[in-house]
Structure 1
């Protein structure tokens, strides 16, 4: 599988911090060069995604050459960032940041284990064996909400192993939650944050759909839905504390817009790889295929936006993680948890590679630039 940071083809849309401008600039890549395409017709990524044909607009709009993509990517790393040169930001702006959970069997089983362990990672291995024995590992063949799924539900309730995670995993209703506020995500090269109270946590590599206010899916990108297993394991009501912290969600490196070559079907067939590289020499590699998802991506979008709930600035939707890293790190039976300084890289050829360094959320750059700041800066620049 290619580990290129940027796809070799496709219509790419992103945001960058460019010297001389107060506000983020809208960029694309053409023949290995980053171009600034900020225009009054499309001053934000949200505005472009609301167009009838976003990919055609990005392809046709004139741009100003910014620099070679490799140089911009190199300057996007938090440790080497130089404000005198361009750097990538998260490729989304005003969209709501939503996420779906428990959409893959691997993550479903690990959520049940978290719940049973009540946040204690030392109990995970023994509980994993016990839960697999009770539930079995073949839930991937069950269509959520189907009569067969309801029969499994009744059987598991009778055996005393029913869980709120099984409810959203095979029940009729998907888990949809708010990952963070608009403008809160970080991009390629930025630090991602762990809440200091957590001692059991992990990356969650996911594909992220970009959805217009009409409900139309217009593109996709990669995301890391950083998760605190011990916090959510204590209580599902702590989901907000487990998921929404400073720099706890990364997106990027670019949004790839749907066109004749890249479609939702491409997303459904994508194979993702993930690598975690620690300063202690630890390396974890994993890969999985979107074909293993239990709910169709379009059905997850329909559960999020429609007559029951509108998003006038559109949304992005994390589709759920297909990875549950359990490789022992500090000794047999101790499982996986992050260490500060870990580099997490999430890749698929059609979308590129999203890489970030892990730090405490209290040590990551604070989120200070929100929607109000962006709109004021765009108004001053006469782009609104």
Structure 2
């Protein structure tokens, strides 16, 4: 499995700790997980909205609760052990939004999905045909530009224009609701596939933490699990393809921006993906955030502004740069998940997010929402 290295920096997250009924806000200091939950600062939302999140986390009083290395090493097993600390998604009341088709490689694969109508057997043949028509020079296009409009016209004439190309190189970004607040899972948890799907893949991404004022204050890693066959049948099935039990993972921590880590660091990050199957299958990939076709700032502006407000802030997945096509069960059959796959997403500045693949119907049900959290915090005199 990919290394669980946690970077230096100002980290904030959430954990279930023995002796507490509600999630605790945590950070990392000297290799220890530290509980910094305090009255008025008992949610990641409240700390993010304070206007000085990084300084607060650096200086907050807290209690060490155990070795972070040990917690990360046992993360997959700890999900079923209520006696051990367990990391949760490092956000709570924030909206969970996502942007799509922001990298050329995923753009082309979405066009292939659409043309294949969810049939992975047709995808390989279509891939060659579409690449011959479209080419890979789309990476040089600025979405919404005059040159992009000319490419659109040419592709329409060739009969291969797609709704995915519209959001990939057109003027408007694809922004959608990935999951509900409090529903994302964290490092070590199972991620869920809807049982109707037979063609699916991980979507390793960087996700930004954004305040209610639209300020980007930190970043984390995410897996925007996708059902290729479901979305490929119709883009109107995006909700079914994207929003299922345990289909959004985030973590292991949000790294807050400070003097040593900024949005510019994120823009240059190299992201690694590793899938390890119980069948011995291993898939490795690497890509760079510098290849994104829309800037993170423009994606945030498309999400929050005068047209749409988020009073508790949001986290925004920036889109995937991977579309795994490596054959798994034979030539031409492409990639799809199998139950038990371990998916690890990593980059030196943000650490490693690992999850085990399961059916959404077999993952732990989502039963703890915002109302439960607020009631628990009120009982604990933490609001």
Secondary structure in 1 aligned to 2:20? coil
Instruction: Give the Å deviation of 1:85.
Output: 2.1
Q: List aligned pairs for 1:1-384, cutoff 5 A.
A: 3-78=2-77, 81-384=80-383
Q: Distance in 2 between the 1:182 and 1:74 partners?
A: 27
| 1:180-239, Cα deviation, whole Å (9 max, x unpaired) | 000000000000000000000000000000000000001000000000000000000000
Rate the CA distance shift 1:7–1:93 in 2: closer, same or farther, 3 A. same
| 1:37-67, Cα deviation, whole Å (9 max, x unpaired) | 0011311001111111110000011001101
Q: Distance in 2 between the 1:41 and 1:122 partners?
A: 54
Secondary structure in 2 aligned to 1:77? helix
| 1:223-262, Cα deviation, whole Å (9 max, x unpaired) | 0000000000000000000000000010000000000000
Contact 1:192–1:356 (Cα < 8 Å) also in 2: yes
Q: Distance in 2 between the 1:251 and 1:309 partners?
A: 23
Secondary structure in 2 aligned to 1:178? strand
| Alignment length (residue pairs) | 383
Instruction: Give the Å deviation of 1:78.
Output: 4.5
Q: Distance in 2 between the 1:143 and 1:175 partners?
A: 15
Instruction: Give the Å deviation of 1:82.
Output: 2.1
Contact 1:75–1:85 (Cα < 8 Å) also in 2: no
Contact 2:99–2:299 (Cα < 8 Å) also in 1: yes
Instruction: Give the Å deviation of 1:72.
Output: 2.1
| 1:273-321, Cα deviation, whole Å (9 max, x unpaired) | 0000000000000000000000000100000000000000000000000
Q: Distance in 2 between the 1:9 and 1:218 partners?
A: 17
Instruction: Give the Å deviation of 1:27.
Output: 0.3
Contact 1:3–1:348 (Cα < 8 Å) also in 2: no
Contact 1:3–1:349 (Cα < 8 Å) also in 2: no
Q: Greater shift after overlay, 151-160 or 357-366?
A: 151-160
Q: Distance in 2 between the 1:65 and 1:71 partners?
A: 13
Secondary structure in 1 aligned to 2:147? helix
Instruction: Give the Å deviation of 1:6.
Output: 4.1
Structure 2 segments unaligned to the other structure (5+ residues): none
Instruction: Give the Å deviation of 1:136.
Output: 0.8
Secondary structure in 2 aligned to 1:309? coil
Q: Distance in 1 between the 2:355 and 2:22 partners?
A: 23
Secondary structure in 2 aligned to 1:316? strand
Q: Greater shift after overlay, 190-199 or 152-161?
A: 152-161
Q: Distance in 1 between the 2:7 and 2:223 partners?
A: 22
Contact 2:188–2:355 (Cα < 8 Å) also in 1: yes
Q: Distance in 2 between the 1:334 and 1:59 partners?
A: 49
Contact 1:97–1:315 (Cα < 8 Å) also in 2: yes
Q: Which runs of 4+ in 1 moved over 4 A?
A: none
TM-score of the pair, normalised by structure 2: 0.98
Contact 1:75–1:82 (Cα < 8 Å) also in 2: no
TM-score of the pair, normalised by structure 1: 0.98
Instruction: Give the Å deviation of 1:160.
Output: 1.1
Q: Distance in 2 between the 1:162 and 1:86 partners?
A: 50
Q: Distance in 1 between the 2:215 and 2:116 partners?
A: 40
Instruction: Give the Å deviation of 1:84.
Output: 1.5
Contact 1:205–1:223 (Cα < 8 Å) also in 2: yes
